[in-house]
Amino acid sequence: MGEFKFGRRRFLGLTAVAGAAAAGAAMLGEPHAEAATGVDYAGLKRALTGPLLRPGDAAYAAAAKPYNSALGVRKPAAIAKVAGTDDVRTCVRRVRGHGVPLAARAGGHSYAGFSTPNGGVVVDLSALKGIMVKGDGTAVVGAGVKLLDLYAALAAHNRALPAGSCPTVGVAGSTLGGGIGVVARAYGLTCDHLESATVVTADGALQTVDSNHDADLFWALRGGGGGNGGIVTSFTFRTVPAPTVTIFSLHFPASRTSRVLRAWSQWMDAAPDQLTALCGVTAASTPTNRVTGTWTGPASALAGHLSALIAAVGAAPTSRTTHTYSYLNAMKYFAGPPAGREAFRAASRMLDRTVTASIADRVVALMSRQKGMVLLFDSLRGQVGRLKTGDTAFAHRGAHASVQVYSGNAANGPAVLAVQQALAPIVGTGAYVNYLNPGQKDWASAYYGANLPRLRQVVRKYDPDRVFDFPQSVLRA
């Protein structure tokens, strides 16, 4: 459901944000014991082509682990490693109506662990990893495909899809929440490139949805968040010619962090769409800063844009690097070296205005009181803002940036939530559904804004009995 955004692993590695290894408690409660007895697990196992893992099975413990190890030990009642669409339909038909949580899982990166519910049935889509690139550049992609595998397959055809940078994030969750990526201003969100999708709805039916067939559900799938309304088994994307990407990174003196944040924001207001940039503010008594980004125009033209930022900051950067890559190698750069599971706490806000001196000073003051935490301001607008708020379920078309509150300390959940709450009057009350936080009280309005009433109506139409239910389901909003 969730995605690891714009260069987070690379950014954190370079800024040395440390995290504790201790895992926190699981965030989802156990279902009622009597409800869990209603599913005929033996019958479900016989009906599936793929394996059904139950507690005590040799492969169960490993399969039950979410990517975020801070979520602790998860105990789903069963994990269906589905072999195809028919298995997905079988799971829905046999589990629905028994009061047992039913959740799809692709990459397993849900920040809150909603894709691996305690006491529930996990529909593990990881085997649905087919990728077919057609002559017209469209790509049919299985819901179990991971982002780096998709980038590599598209690169073989000199094509690309704008999306996130964590290599093991599933394309499914990323797309369904919107899909903020490293070239978002140049090409828009991942969901903006979705042409159609095959979906298993709550009655077990298989439907292909697009702008002409079940257009309301197709609208909801583009930013309405994973887990709502059905289980997508494949996506058809419109891809773009693979661009050359120049990646840049600048550090400025810590004493200039407030000025950097303000200068970055105003710089992005005036920037062409080819420029997408992140501004990071890392907690310390004097918070530090970093500006990292991508440029998809001629490499020689980037220097002038960077010089304009430096002039606005009014201080020379303490370090400055630029490298030009193919799109695939740029994604590999942001992914960083291979890594396993991570322990982290995270939340988000959406920056709804240009950063003024007052806003920047308040952000820096807030981060001067924190430890082991970073704010990642990811620029939007550009092609993201070319669509209207109601064109897709992604409601933040006018946002200046997303703001991720991230800590690599598994015990830092309360502090992350407190910072998220403190940011609301400073930057805005919105939040990004792919950065789920189970402790957030205003999650429904924050994730969906003006699109919430329509989204609730659509999801209720396709899932009237709340088959796909979880603590932050649209039907609970």
CATH number of the domain encompassing residue 49? 3.30.43.10
CATH number of the domain encompassing residue 218? 3.30.465.10
Domain that holds residue 104: 38-124
Are 364 and 267 members of one domain?
yes
Are 209 and 260 members of one domain?
no
Are 116 and 162 members of one domain?
no
Are 249 and 237 members of one domain?
no
Are 432 and 297 members of one domain?
yes
Last residue of a domain, one of 103, 124, 145: 124
Are 297 and 433 members of one domain?
yes
Are 93 and 113 members of one domain?
yes
CA distance linking residue 180 with residue 378, whole number of Å: 9
Q: Do 112 and 134 touch, CB atoms closer than 8 A?
A: no
Are 422 and 295 members of one domain?
yes
Q: What is the pLDDT along the chain (477 residues), one digit of tens a residue?
A: 333 344 454 555 443 332 222 222 222 333 333 344 589 999 999 999 999 999 999 999 999 999 999 999 999 999 999 999 999 999 999 999 999 999 999 999 999 999 999 999 999 999 999 999 999 999 999 999 999 999 999 999 999 999 999 999 999 999 999 999 999 999 999 999 999 999 999 999 999 999 999 999 999 999 999 999 999 999 999 999 999 999 999 999 999 999 999 999 999 999 999 999 999 999 999 999 999 999 999 999 999 999 999 999 999 999 999 999 999 999 999 999 888 889 999 999 999 999 999 999 999 999 999 999 999 999 999 999 999 999 999 999 999 999 999 999 999 999 999 999 999 999 999 999 999 999 999 999 999 999 999 999 999 999 999 999 999 999 999
Are 366 and 334 members of one domain?
yes
Within a domain: 470:
no
Q: What is the DSSP string of 125-168?
A: -TT---EEE-TTSEEEEETT-BHHHHHHHHHTTTEE----S-TT
Q: Which token pair is 281? A: 């503010």
Are 407 and 259 members of one domain?
yes
Are 300 and 179 members of one domain?
no
Within a domain: 325:
yes
Within a domain: 30:
no
Domains identified in the chain, total number: 3
Sequence length of the chain is 477
Q: Do 400 and 380 touch, CB atoms closer than 8 A?
A: yes
CATH number of the domain encompassing residue 410? 3.40.462.20
Are 331 and 457 members of one domain?
no
Computed from CA positions of residues 190, 196, 198, 202, in that sequence, does the dihedral angle turn out positive or negative? positive
